[in-house]
Amino acid sequence: MNENLDLLRSALAGVVWPAVPNDRGAPALAMQFQLEQTQWWPPAELERCQMQQLQLVLRHAHAALPFWRGRLDAAGFKADTIPGREWFSTLPLLTRADIQTLGDVLLSRQIPSRHGALTQGETSGSTGRPITYYGTELTQFFWRAFTLRDHLWQQRDFSGKLAAIRLKVEQEETKGWGPATDVVFKTGPCSLLNLRTDIDAQLDWLQREAPQYLITNAQNLLWLARRSSERGIRLTGLKQARCFGGVVADDTRAAVREAWGVGLADMYTAEEVGYIALQCPQTEHYHVQAESVIVEILDDANMVCAPGQIGRVVITALHNFAMPLIRYALGDYAEAGGACACGRGLPVIRRIMGRERNILVLPDGRRHWPSFPSGKWAAAAPVHQLQMIQKKRDEILLRVVAVRELSIEERQRLIAVLQDCLGYPFKMELEYLSEIPRAANYKFEDFVSEIEG
């Protein structure tokens, strides 16, 4: 934070140093002071404090919500006992389908008054079935706290300009980066652009704005970087690219480095949960934000995955008393990681893999995460973009955006490359499109399986 100390906001006239924060800035800074300490705690100490906080969440859920009372009673919950990991792991998982079915049955009417007003939102519905979720001003406070932690971890210069390309915004420029920073620091401006803007128009806009930092969703960032390289646009002055809302593809980091000569910082969030993990400042893996969530990565037998194993992500939110989410299976998959060389005790997620619908199913029933970097298939045929839809265990619909219709040789070469990447000679039907449609939330998935079970 040292390089940004002169940008701290002071609430007192005649005092600029040391800055005296206002009533909103003081709690934000106090939280950062705590987070600066807790990130270095050993895992056992982090877990001890998590269990203390979890006890309060479980007590509230038991007292306020019949659904949770029945589930906790069946598991032998004792309100006066701090739960242990072994007992906690016996609680049934809460699924997205449960939330969709139960609806307001999961909404507490007994929220502690100091947690602030009730907030409501709806997930983007990437599966086509959004869920309605609830939080409080407290959950928003923690969302802002981890946003600020990310800025500080990555040592961003708050005086720079931020460009944000996302949904639910109009093209405009604001005076600050947003509520997470603006209550504490004086920042440069933030230029906003809607994500639905054409990619070439986005690049032209970025050239005019000349930001130091760029944030957009993961797939859009990849497309921007590739198109920027094609057009020879460098974005001089850019210090770092950031992304959210999707899986970072195998070649995204390399594409960003090639296009603009900068690194990429990713984050792992869920609208109904908040921050789950932030990219480590020294590596490309992710640190679970253990001060706010308990993350379990579980195999098919619901056992905790060892480092290097891939399993489904299960979240317990530690501060949401409006809609307690206890052992909530997001639908995501991730690879568990081991201890980090950076020295932080925060748990490690090595890779975010995606949703279950992004898993390739082989004819013999085996499943794995497909990888087909653009450097391989783009060299095989004049294809700008592709998407694979697995229709059957041995059949894939291959959607392509190509310069022109492929020759027989190019078609054969492209299919052979993709079959090699997937590890099986799938039958592939080619479909030419002028543009591959994105989902309602404007995320793009380059592989989707329609195989049941």
- Pick the residue with more confidence: 247 or 303? 303
Helical H segments across 75-177, by residue range: 85-88, 96-102, 137-153
User: Is residue 127 predicted with pLDDT exceeding 70?
Assistant: no
According to the model, what pLDDT value does residue 329 have?
A: 96
How far is 418 from 134, CA to CA, in rounded Å?
Answer: 43
Mean pLDDT of 18-44: 96
Nearest-5° angle of CA 265, CA 271, CA 273? 95
Q: What is the mean pLDDT of residues 239-243?
A: 97
pLDDT at 125: 56
Rounded Cα distance between 443 and 152, Å, is: 28
Torsion of CA 3, 7, 12, 18, to 10 degrees: 10
Residue 18: asked if its preceding bond is cis (omega within 30°), the reply is: yes
304, 296 in Cβ contact below 8 A? yes
Q: Is the pLDDT of residue 146 over 80?
A: yes
Look up the CATH number of the domain holding residue 439.
Answer: 3.30.300.30
The mean pLDDT of 293-320, rounded to a whole number, is: 96
The band of 138, judged by pLDDT with boundaries at 50, 70 and 90, is: very high
pLDDT at 202: 95
**How many domains are there within the chain?**
1
pLDDT value, residue 379: 87
Is 319 a residue whose pLDDT tops 90? Answer: yes
> Looking at residue 196, what is its pLDDT?
86
pLDDT band at 216 (very low <50, low <70, confident <90, very high): very high
Taking residue 186's Cβ as centre, other Cβ atoms within 10 Å add up to 17
CA distance 234 to 433: 29
Lowest pLDDT segment from 33-42, 48-57, 436-445: 436-445
pLDDT (0 to 100) of residue 168: 84
Residue 420 maps to a domain:
yes
Q: Average model confidence (pLDDT) for the chain?
A: 92
What pTM does this model have?
0.89
Range name among 49-53, 54-58, 118-122, 353-357 with the lowest pLDDT average: 353-357
Q: Please, what is the Cα angle at 372 between 396 and 411, to 5 degrees? A: 55
pLDDT higher than threshold 80 for residue 242: yes
Q: Which is nearest to 3 in space by CA: 152, 135, 106?
A: 152
Contact 442, 350 (CB under 8 A): no
In a domain? residue 265: no
Using alpha carbons, select from 364, 400, 350 the residue that is nearest to residue 380: 400
3-state secondary structure of 379: coil
Q: 3-state class of 39 per DSSP?
A: coil
**Residue 1 reports pLDDT greater than 70:** no
Q: Assess contact for 289 and 153: CB atoms under 8 A.
A: no
pLDDT given for residue 124 in this prediction = 66
Q: Which domain holds residue 367?
A: 360-449
- Looking at residue 368, its pLDDT comes to 79
Reported as a single tens digit per residue, the pLDDT across 263-292 is 999 999 999 999 999 999 999 999 999 999
Kindly state whether residue 367 falls inside one of the protein's structural domains. Answer: yes
The encoded tokens of residue 407 equal 């020759």
What per-residue confidence (pLDDT) applies to 355? 81
Task: State the pairing for strand pair 310-317/293-298.
Answer: antiparallel
> What is the C-alpha to C-alpha distance for residues 259 and 94, in angstroms, rounded to an integer?
42
Q: Which residues pair with 243 in a beta bridge?
A: 216, 266
**136 lies in some domain:** no
Per residue in 240-278, is it b (16+ CB within 10 Å) or e — as a string?
A: bbbbebbbbbebbbebbeebbebebbbbbbbbbbbbbbb
Task: Evaluate if residue 62 carries a pLDDT over 90.
Answer: yes
pLDDT digits (tens, 9 = 90+) for 409-448: 999 999 999 999 998 999 999 999 988 877 666 677 888 8
Residue 255 belongs to some domain of the structure: no
402 part of a folded domain: yes
The pLDDT of residue 7 is: 92
pLDDT digits (tens, 9 = 90+) for 378-416: 889 998 888 999 999 999 999 999 888 999 999 999 999
The Cα 55–Cα 49 span in angstroms is 10
CB neighbour list of residue 365: distance below 8 Å, 6 or more residues apart: none
pLDDT recorded at residue 128: 52
pLDDT reported for residue 190 = 97
Q: Give kind and range of the element (H or E) at residue 408.
A: helix 408-422
Percent of the chain surpassing pLDDT 90: 75
pLDDT, residue 371, reads 81
Residue 23 maps to a domain: no
CA end-to-end distance (rounded Å), the chain: 49
Q: H helices within 127-251, ranges in order?
A: 137-153, 179-182, 199-209, 218-231
Tokens in use for 26? 């003081």
Yes or no: say if 148 and 33 are a contact pair by the CB < 8 Å rule.
Answer: no
